[in-house]
Amino acid sequence: MKKIAFLFPGQGSQTIGMGQDLFQEYDFVREIFDAADDIAGAHISQYCFKGPMETLTETVNLQPAVTAVNLACLAAIQRAGISCDFSAGHSLGEYSALFSAEIVSMADTLRLVLKRGELMHRESLKHRGAMSAIVGLDIAAVEALVKTCRQTGVVSVANHNSEQQIVITGSPDAVTAVSEAAKAKGARAIPLKVSGAWHSDLIKGAEDEFTAFLNTFQLGSPAHIVIHNVTADSCDDPKAIQRLMALQLCSPVRWYDTIRRLVSENVEVFVEVGPGKVLAGLLKKIVPSDYDHRVFNASNLKTLEALVSELS
């Protein structure tokens, strides 16, 4: 049997209408969206299906929204009899990976991402932040620029997405300084439309409160291997996983290393479980061209049917 990894997207993958056809087709998907609406005390399902985009992309709504769609897509895959050997999620998506490995329940997953979104939103209102994607330099070069530009303000690496696509995060002036320095070295710097400096010290004010909230949950042992953002490694101990998820809030997402780890584990089938094709696009940049593998997306009825026909 070929090894399968489920990959779960995070913020930035959202589209209006996401999850709607699955909602209309399956009772068990309706239950997931109803739970998201109840736990959030908001019309998360309607933001997913009808928008407006401005409301959907507020991090306090977006985190439970993307998570609900991820869980709906996962539920449809599992109902079709397809399971995974590994899972990983990009930033917010890591919570969906925890659920897929039975480390947390569905309701607890939604409660955790709602609280995470609320705290991140609160900190973003206190501290203006910016993020920018640097394309064309490796991680060592970007980290060197970040170090040099720290005198202009808070700045750090947020996501190591592929070998030469690295997202920086921090105060607007410092992010601009790193971006300009990167351009001077021949790289591209693409400002991202975000409402805060995610994975930076500018949201560190949320860390203690989120850690305390996390510690009120009982995490289970993983049913399959999860590769974590903070370490690009697996972890079997529920208490250690809890600590990793607390650290994840302000730590870089090591996605490039995560995918390389999955390749080293001989994963041959990658399934992006949730909206968009951001992670599939990154896979093309990371996985060696001569490595035998297949990439699928499961975001709606059509892509789900294609996946099932190929894998079941």
pLDDT tens digits along 135-160: 999 999 999 999 999 999 999 999 99
Residue 236 DSSP one-character state: -
Instruction: Decide if 199 is catalytic.
Output: yes
Is pTM beyond 0.75? Reply is yes
User: Strand 294-298 relative to strand 267-273: parallel, antiparallel, unpaired?
Assistant: parallel
In this predicted structure, what is the pLDDT of residue 164?
A: 98
In this predicted structure, what is the pLDDT of residue 162?
A: 98
- Annotated catalytic residue, options 45, 91, 251, 299: 91
Instruction: Give percent above pLDDT 70 in the chain.
Output: 100
| CATH class name, domain 130-193 | alpha beta
- Annotated catalytic residue, options 90, 121, 160, 199: 199
Q: How far apart are CA 301 and CA 307, in angstroms?
A: 10
**How does the average pLDDT of the chain come out, rounded?**
97
Domain boundaries in the chain? Answer: 3-125+202-311, 130-193
pLDDT tens string 6-43: 999 999 999 999 999 999 999 999 999 999 999 999 99
> Rg of the Cα trace of the chain?
19
Burial (CB < 10 A; 0-12, 13-18, 19+), residue 10, is: buried
Is there a contact between 3 and 42 (Cβ–Cβ < 8 Å)?
Answer: no
Is there a contact between 113 and 59 (Cβ–Cβ < 8 Å)?
Answer: no
Both structure tokens of 165: 């696509």
φ/ψ (deg, to 5) at 154: -70, 125
Asked whether the domain spanning 130-193 has the same topology as the one spanning 3-125+202-311, the reply is: no
Nearest residue to 261 (alpha-carbon basis) of 233, 225, 302: 233
Q: Averaged in consecutive runs of 10 residues, what is the pLDDT profile of the chain (312 residues)? A: 96 96 98 98 97 94 98 97 97 98 98 97 95 98 97 97 98 97 98 93 96 97 98 98 97 98 98 97 97 97 95 84
Is there a contact between 47 and 18 (Cβ–Cβ < 8 Å)?
Answer: no
The amino acid that residue 144 corresponds to is A
Instruction: Decide if 91 is catalytic.
Output: yes
Its sign, for the CA torsion 239, 245, 248, 250, is negative
Q: How far apart are CA 248 and CA 252, in angstroms?
A: 7
User: Strand 155-162 relative to strand 165-170: parallel, antiparallel, unpaired?
Assistant: antiparallel
CATH code: domain 3-125+202-311 is 3.40.366.10
Q: How far apart are CA 89 and CA 278, in angstroms?
A: 12
